[in-house]
């Protein structure tokens, strides 16, 4: 049931206390944290999958990318569901699919079983972060959106810690199937916590008539006809995807194949870079320069990341490579500014839809980049090239394409200086 407003000293209804809002947000973030674990698990279990099922680089990329594909495609429907039925009901309805997918993956007898598990996991996790961003947008001050989103991404990054040393140790001693089994248990605990603890505060807009499914879908689709949506979507498709393609897919195989690292050693590297990525989003969010300068900072961050991937392509020293991976985790925090850019680029009444479309683009980008990186790796292998050099240059190239689109395609009139926006 909805949380009743806390009465103020004057007897008028007041907003729920921040402590209660924070408790609900952190509970929602537990699902997002597990979503982060699922989208980065491939890096640690890749060697086991190659051994058990004889997967090629292309098949491994397709496996990792299917999570992002199913996650991204269903964003539109999850956004509509949240508009019509609320955040809580949408998450509670979808998340059991992640539990089922985890169990199917743990018991999968073949590659096809793994792919089915990935499909269900992606759909089940798809409302996780969108629910958190919409909760922040609805119930926290708008001027703190970038900072709060950064905190949310940081807390959600706890899932990345699990797919570092802890999962590497578990997989090395008991096998990759145990990793999926443990994730299924953690998902079930998260679902129970959300069921018991999350009850959205009532808003005046909740009393307005709800649109039909068809009208709601048209509203989401209408955003794709807005010219400045494409710059935001293209940049969204490459920003987070570049970090996740390395951290979530190629980090462990690269360190094992290039330098002979053990699985636990690669897990330690993944753990440290994940710990760094816990804090950088909130730092970038706190340093948000505002709508007029934010876009330049986004482009600058993406260019720095592209240069880092170019360096990873050509540097063949273990210490230098690990240092560059750590720097990648540090620089990746710039992507939180893209959420603030989305919120500033659309009218307030379309914020939820805009965030949903952006999140859809972001994870379709993850699927596309991971899948294409597998094809690039397979091409390099067949033509005698160094796999990871080709992959890193590919990721850098995708980032630069995104920067060009973000810079030169139309931007929102809401971001134009007032002197230019005025008739």
What digits encode the pLDDT tens for the residues 280-310? 887 888 888 887 788 999 999 999 999 999 9
* Statement: residue 270 has pLDDT above 50: yes
* Statement: residue 274 has pLDDT above 90: no
The whole-angstrom distance between residue 358's C-alpha and the CA centroid of its chain comes to 11
Per CATH, the homologous superfamily of domain 18-199+222-413 is MFS general substrate transporter like domains (1.20.1250.20)
**382: burial class by Cβ within 10 Å (0-12, 13-18, 19+)?**
exposed
How far lies 348's CA from each of 59, 66, 134, in Å?
A: 42, 33, 12
Which string of b and e fits 18-29 if b means at least 16 CB within 10 Å?
Answer: eebbeebbbbbb
Q: What is the CA radius of gyration of the chain?
A: 21
Q: Which of 29-33, 57-61, 354-358, 385-389 has the lowest mean pLDDT?
A: 354-358
pLDDT confidence bin for 203, thresholds 50/70/90: low
Phi, psi of 201 (to 5 degrees): -60, 145
The dihedral sign for the CA sequence 270, 273, 275, 281: negative
Tokens at 154, concatenated: 């940081």
pLDDT confidence bin for 204, thresholds 50/70/90: low
Mean per-residue pLDDT over the chain, rounded: 86
pLDDT confidence bin for 420, thresholds 50/70/90: very low
Q: Which pLDDT score, from 0 to 100, does residue 343 have?
A: 82
CA–CA distance, 323 with 269 (Å, rounded to integer): 10
Question: What global pTM score does this model have?
Answer: 0.77
pLDDT digits (tens, 9 = 90+) for 307-317: 999 999 999 99
* Statement: residue 87 has pLDDT above 80: yes
With contact defined as beta carbons under 8 Å apart, do 329 and 216 qualify? no
Which candidate, 289, 294, 269, 310, places its Cα nearest to that of 400? 310
Q: Which pLDDT score, from 0 to 100, does residue 398 have?
A: 96
pLDDT digits (tens, 9 = 90+) for 151-183: 787 787 788 888 888 888 999 899 999 999 999
* Statement: residue 5 has pLDDT above 60: no
Q: Which pLDDT score, from 0 to 100, does residue 16 have?
A: 63
**226: burial class by Cβ within 10 Å (0-12, 13-18, 19+)?**
middle
User: Cα torsion for 188, 192, 195, 197, to the nearest 10°?
Assistant: -130
pLDDT confidence bin for 115, thresholds 50/70/90: very high
The dihedral sign for the CA sequence 311, 154, 65, 130: negative
Q: Which pLDDT score, from 0 to 100, does residue 257 have?
A: 93
Residues 6+ apart with CB under 8 A from 219: 211, 350, 353
- What is the full DSSP assignment across 167-207? HHHHHHHH-HHHHHHHHHHHHHHHHHHHHHH--PBP-GGGG
Q: Coil, strand, or helix at residue 252?
A: helix
With contact defined as beta carbons under 8 Å apart, do 125 and 33 qualify? no
User: How many CB atoms are closer than 10 A to CB 176?
Assistant: 24
Provide, for the chain, the percentages of residues in helix, strand and coil under a 3-state DSSP scheme, each rounded to the nearest 5.
Answer: 85, 0, 15
């Amino acid at each position: 049931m909805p949380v009743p407003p806390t009465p103020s000293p004057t007897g008028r209804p007041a907003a729920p206390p921040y402590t209660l809002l924070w408790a609900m947000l952190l509970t929602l973030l537990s699902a997002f944290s597990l979503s982060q674990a699922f989208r980065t698990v491939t890096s640690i279990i890749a060697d086991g999958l190659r051994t058990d099922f004889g997967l090629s680089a292309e098949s491994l990329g397709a496996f990792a990318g299917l999570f992002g594909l199913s996650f991204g495609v269903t964003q539109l429907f999850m956004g509509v569901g949240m508009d019509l039925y609320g955040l809580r009901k949408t998450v509670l309805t979808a998340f059991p699919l992640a539990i089922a997918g985890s169990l199917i993956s743990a018991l999968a007898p073949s590659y096809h079983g793994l792919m089915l598990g990935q499909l269900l996991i992606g759909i089940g996790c798809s409302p996780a972060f969108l629910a958190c961003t919409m909760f922040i947008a609805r119930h926290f001050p708008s001027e703190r959106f970038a900072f709060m989103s950064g905190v949310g991404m940081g807390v959600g990054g706890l899932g990345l810690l699990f797919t570092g040393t802890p999962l590497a140790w578990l997989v090395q001693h008991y096998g990759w199937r145990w990793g999926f089994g443990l994730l299924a248990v953690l998902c079930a605990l998260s679902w129970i916590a959300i069921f018991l603890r999350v009850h959205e505060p009532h808003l005046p807009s909740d009393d307005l008539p709800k649109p039909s499914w068809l009208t709601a879908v048209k509203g989401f689709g209408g955003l794709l006809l807005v010219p400045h949506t494409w710059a935001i979507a293209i940049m969204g498709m490459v920003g987070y995807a570049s970090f996740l393609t390395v951290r979530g897919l190629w980090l462990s195989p690269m360190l094992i194949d290039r330098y002979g690292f053990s699985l636990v050693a690669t897990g330690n590297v993944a753990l440290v870079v994940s710990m760094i990525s816990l804090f950088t989003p909130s730092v970038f969010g706190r340093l948000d320069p505002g709508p007029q300068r934010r876009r330049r900072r986004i482009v600058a961050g993406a260019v720095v990341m592209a240069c880092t991937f170019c360096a990873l392509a050509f540097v063949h020293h273990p210490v230098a490579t690990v240092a560059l991976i750590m720097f990648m985790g540090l620089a990746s925090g710039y992507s939180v500014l893209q959420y603030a850019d989305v919120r500033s680029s659309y009218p307030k009444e379309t914020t939820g839809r805009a965030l949903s479309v952006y999140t859809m683009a972001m994870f379709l980008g993850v699927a596309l980049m991971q899948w294409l990186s597998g094809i690039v790796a397979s091409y390099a292998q067949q033509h005698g090239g160094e796999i990871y050099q080709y992959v890193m240059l590919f990721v850098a190239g995708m980032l630069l394409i995104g920067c060009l689109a973000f810079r030169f395609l139309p931007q929102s009139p809401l971001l134009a200086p007032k002197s230019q926006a005025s008739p």
